[in-house]
A and B are shown apart, each in its own frame.
Chain A
């Protein structure tokens, strides 16, 4: 039947595509590193100032937040909160065990705003 060779060709194509896709996502083994980021909170912050911080899964992450206003720093997903005040920067330290894109927000009186995004990429 004419259908059979075509079906075989389609199957081969699909298989090749799948292998190619998996190669694109193949993990690149590397050592877990330490990553450190400095975030600054100022009273006159403009939207779109959110800093994107990229780390690999398993890295030890340190976020140092310097601020002009007393705020609470909240790392979403990991659910870590730390207070920061003028002259007393917050230092948040944790192991990025889960992949994803996690907003880092500050809470102040009656409001909140995203000051950065922590992107934890798979190895």
Chain B
């Protein structure tokens, strides 16, 4: 063992990913599989039109076992637990040890919540709509208000302006993406919970002004984001459906939601891109070229990068929508095309998100075990796990590689199928539908290849110019 082995370094290192880049052979196999399977499914669809009106649904409540499970009153305790976790996170951030790896706040927010709930939303169902603690607390206020209608002001007196649609959520989500990927204090507990407090104020004001459900449907960036992921999931309430079937529902997709989805997709991709050597070289070049900004240079460069990705995605997508509309003979306007097809890109983003965060969740997520016993970093040991050290052996590189590539290929196939079924619904006949799909397939193959390329890149840390002060964390 190392001669100078000491206790784990606690100063930084929060949110690191230790993934090995996938080997070239696996990259090529994945890319080839994506392209080949695309052709295979196009060939299948030329002979067979799946029913687009109703996808197979299984009502789990048909079985007595599930009916019994549904009757167990788990909802309220789980909601209370989440409210408790929110409160504990805020307390830990304000009063606990400010070292990122010794405080519950960064781990709970960035790993357990942002990555964990995203996984559950995509793979299980819309759990956030049930456990959202802000919603739970406000629902409590609603009940109080109904009991004393003359003493407490009633919420929901304003109507959500039609023209506003989901644009506030777009802005809020971009702000969140900036905090996640650029903000230097994102691993510092106090800064994080201050931002969480600002969000709390925004949410409760929004719920009070417009009503809880209206806010969650139109204004809340996380309810909408997790909701988009959840459309891919197999469970809707107690009904089982094919993976991706929820993405076929496009009546409620507004132009602002199209932009929201593209912003989500692009920030997920940018997240991976910022760890690549190519981005490192861009950062270094711009760092040397922009001395005017002094110490804020890194933030400025990263912000420019962060803003350029959604712009690129929106421009590229609109271009492809226009080509698709033209290929289909002008039967549908480009804006209508972009509206109905945007959700079919979600499986590719989900697959990349899974590939990117899988080992991160399993390895860095183990910090939660230690932090459960000592959330404030004060030397407690509530559950006896305060000295637990994350096991970096938990996931081997080969297993991580195979699951990452498999996820990306499967996500691609689901995307192709969803897009095809949407095309069948909106275009006059099967031939028109298939012809219209060619540009979309090119876009999807391109997007999938970019995802594969990113996980084939060695992960590099930001290292421009002088030595970085300790506050500049860079969680992956």
Contacts and interface: CB of A to CB of B under 8 A. Distances in A.
Interface of A: 2-3, 6, 10, 13, 17, 20-21, 24-25, 27, 47-48, 50, 52, 74, 76-83, 90-95, 97-103, 107-108, 110-114, 117, 119-122
B57 interface: no
Interface string B443-476: 0000000000000001111011111111000000
Interface string B199-227: 00000000000000000000000000000
B16 interface: yes
A111 B468 contact: yes
A17 B29 contact: yes
A108 B1 CA distance: 24
A101 B20 contact: yes
Contacts of B398: 25, 27, 99, 122
Contacts of B19: 100-101
B9 A81 contact: yes
Contacts of A83: 4
A100 B467 contact: no
Given A52-B458, A100-B19, A13 B9 contact: no
Interface residues of B, number: 52
The 7 closest A-B pairs by CB, nearest first: A111-B467, A100-B18, A99-B397, A82-B4, A24-B25, A98-B392, A79-B8
B459 A94 contact: no
B463 A48 contact: yes
Interface of B: 1-6, 8-9, 11-13, 16, 18-21, 23, 25-26, 29, 32-33, 36, 40, 43-44, 47-48, 280-281, 284, 389, 392-393, 396-398, 401-402, 405, 458-461, 463-470
Contact of A6 (B43, B405, B463): B43
5 contacts: A25-B401, A93-B2, A95-B1, A101-B459, A103-B461
Given A52-B458, A82-B3, A112-B12, A98 B393 contact: yes
The residue among B25, B281, B398, B464 with the most chain A CB atoms within 10 A of its own CB is B398
